Amino acid sequence: MPLGRTMRAQIGALVIATSIIQAANGFFGTFISLRVAIEDFTAPGLVLSSYFGGFTLGALLCGKIIERIGHIRAYAAFAGLVAAATPVMPLLAGSLAGVILRALVGFGCAGIFVTTESWLNAKAPPSERGRIFSIYMVGTFLALGLGQLLIARADIKATGPFSAVVSLFAVALVMVAMARAEPPRVSATAALPYGMLIRAAPIAVLGGALSGLVGGTFYALVPAWMQDQGTATETIALFMLMAVLGGFAFQIPVGRLSDLFDRRIVLALLGLGLAATALVMVLSPRSLPTLLPEAVFLGGFMSTLYPVCVAHAHDRMPADRVVAVSGQLILASGIGSALGPLIGESLMTHFEIDGVLYLIGAAALLLATVAGLGGLMTQAPRHLPAPFRILTPQAGPIAHDPLDASQESVAVQ
């Protein structure tokens, strides 16, 4: 059934609002990495990783909040939490305050993304859902890229960027609050014991954790290191933009390959590609003409690990557990994302930025080895036909329209 004009307006407003938040979030993540590098924090790595800890906790808990107060009020509450915590950060310059406030921002952002994706999943007709999520993800990647460009104009030492982030979240909040939207129906999700997913799809769980570790380390530490080396803010912004655009460019080709071949073999190839790129970055000269193409490939391989892991996990699990599977993979990714900056910061004290690249390469090589051996030793599960969707560890859909449950199939990347 095609979307009506009112429904298109509601979904359009939600996508635009969340894209604005993604632009703010992309900008804020890189900005905080640069800001922490110039602050006198005793535990800068903990401050950077606390966002991912809060994000993981939010992804696990916010479903109950949405069920209790509804999507629109939940969206307002989560956006308000971020808007309240952000301007306090420059006022309380200390490691403990930084950890708490960044964790609150992560919790709020997770709530916004879970609310958005579950709202879209519940309201979009099955025949339109794939197209709507594709538009949503295109907006997400473009907004993240725009957020990196904003870094070039930011004064890292000033408080203005904090106010800009609050303003963007406020704009998104106003757009959603004023939308003439009927709340979607929220259904309870089937429980899934943690051991069941690990036994059924150990490679997916390992891959989710390692993809989080790699991504968290890269986005938290690389911009700060570049700033310490005296790299211009414009160059840092361009480098990070190339990594985001690389992730955008790789999504659909890798998704199609994972539909055609054993996903574990695809994961192994992605891991090898990521490890090789990290090695090339260690050995190659640190000049802009070489760094930018390397950033494209690094971002491309890095950003496609998680969607393929999600698809492999859903191949192994019943369709009625799709939400619970997504939640547990978010947890694995979040744990990896929180640990990555802490481990990477320790390695950087001995190996400089090469320590981060060693960590990324080692994690990718471990995944490639485990996934490759798994693909060679056991038969691949049968892939079920489903519309293509790009997934990120931002959030798993938590709301399903009960009337559409019979038409839901496993999410395939």
Q: What is the pLDDT of residues 130-182, one digit of tens each?
A: 567 667 777 888 898 999 988 988 899 899 999 999 999 999 888 887 776 66
Average pLDDT, the chain: 84
CA distances from 227 to 47, 220, 364 (A): 17, 12, 26
CB 59 within 8 A of CB 82: no
Per-residue pLDDT tens for 353-398?
999 999 999 999 999 999 999 888 776 655 554 444 555 555 444 4
Domains of the chain: 5-407 (1.20.1250.20)
Per-residue pLDDT tens for 78-112?
999 999 999 999 988 788 899 999 999 999 998 89
Residue 410: what pLDDT? 36
User: What global pTM score does this model have?
Assistant: 0.82
Residue 377: what pLDDT? 78
CA distance 134 to 156: 34
Q: What are phi and psi of 35, to 5 degrees?
A: -65, -45
Per-residue pLDDT tens for 315-326?
888 766 766 777
At residue 134, the 3 state secondary structure works out as helix
DSSP-H helix ranges across 124-201 = 126-151, 160-177, 194-200
Buried b (16+ CB within 10 A) or exposed e, 296-311: bbbbbbbbbbbbbbbb
Residue 20: what pLDDT? 92
Lowest mean pLDDT among 19-23, 63-67, 133-137: 133-137
Average pLDDT of the residues in 41-60: 88
CA distance 99 to 183: 34
The amino acid at residue 230 is G
Q: Which residue has the higher pLDDT, 186 or 141?
A: 141
Instruction: Output the six-digit token pair for 225.
Output: 């290191």
pLDDT band at 15 (very low <50, low <70, confident <90, very high): confident
Nearest to 220 by CA among 92, 342, 367: 342
